[in-house]
Amino acid sequence: MERNTIQRDIVMTVLKKLNNHATADEIYAAVRHEHPAISRSTVYRNLQWFCDKGQLRKREIPGQADVYDQICTNHYHVRCSRCGRIFDVDMDYIPALEQAIKDPHGFRFTGHDIIFTGVCPDCQSRDEPL
């Protein structure tokens, strides 16, 4: 039987207040604000728990910390190459993308992810151009 713990509650409450695509560390920092004694593992375990329940989706980001996405449906992401933050891309999901593969070489394809690279508006105005 699953239990309602204060910690679990706070993780979800904080999550809703934070920007989407927060890292475990950002979530931990924010949760700590309301419950300083909480353990980092508890945050990780609860994030995993929400993922298992389908209320959250962990997006593994190449080369950096994973982020937690409150939108659980398939969609694409951009990573800002300056600040590393992750944003949603305003683009239709392409379920048929697997059909563009010429020869599957015996593979059974089950899905795909697209990660765009770019520079976010904040970083464009803040940084030296390039």
Partner DNA sequence: GTGAGTGCAAATCTTTTGCATGTTT
Partner DNA sequence: AAACATGCAAAAGATTTGCACTCAC
Question: Where do contacts with its own copies occur on this chain (CB under 8 A)?
Answer: 59-63, 66, 78, 80-81, 87, 89-92, 97-98, 100-121, 124
**Pairs from 94-99 (Cβ < 8 Å, separation ≥ 24):** none
* DSSP state, residue 29: H
Q: Which of 18, 29, 44, 114 binds DNA (CB under 7 A)?
A: 44
The yes or no reply on residue 24 touching DNA (CB under 7 A) is yes
Cα first-last separation, the chain: 55
Which string of x and - marks every residue 54-73 that binds DNA (by CB under 7 A)? Answer: ----------xxx-------
* Phi and psi angles of residue 58, each rounded to the nearest 5 degrees, phi first: -80, 125
Residue 38: contacted member of DNA, its own copies, none (CB under 5 to 8 Å, by partner type) = DNA
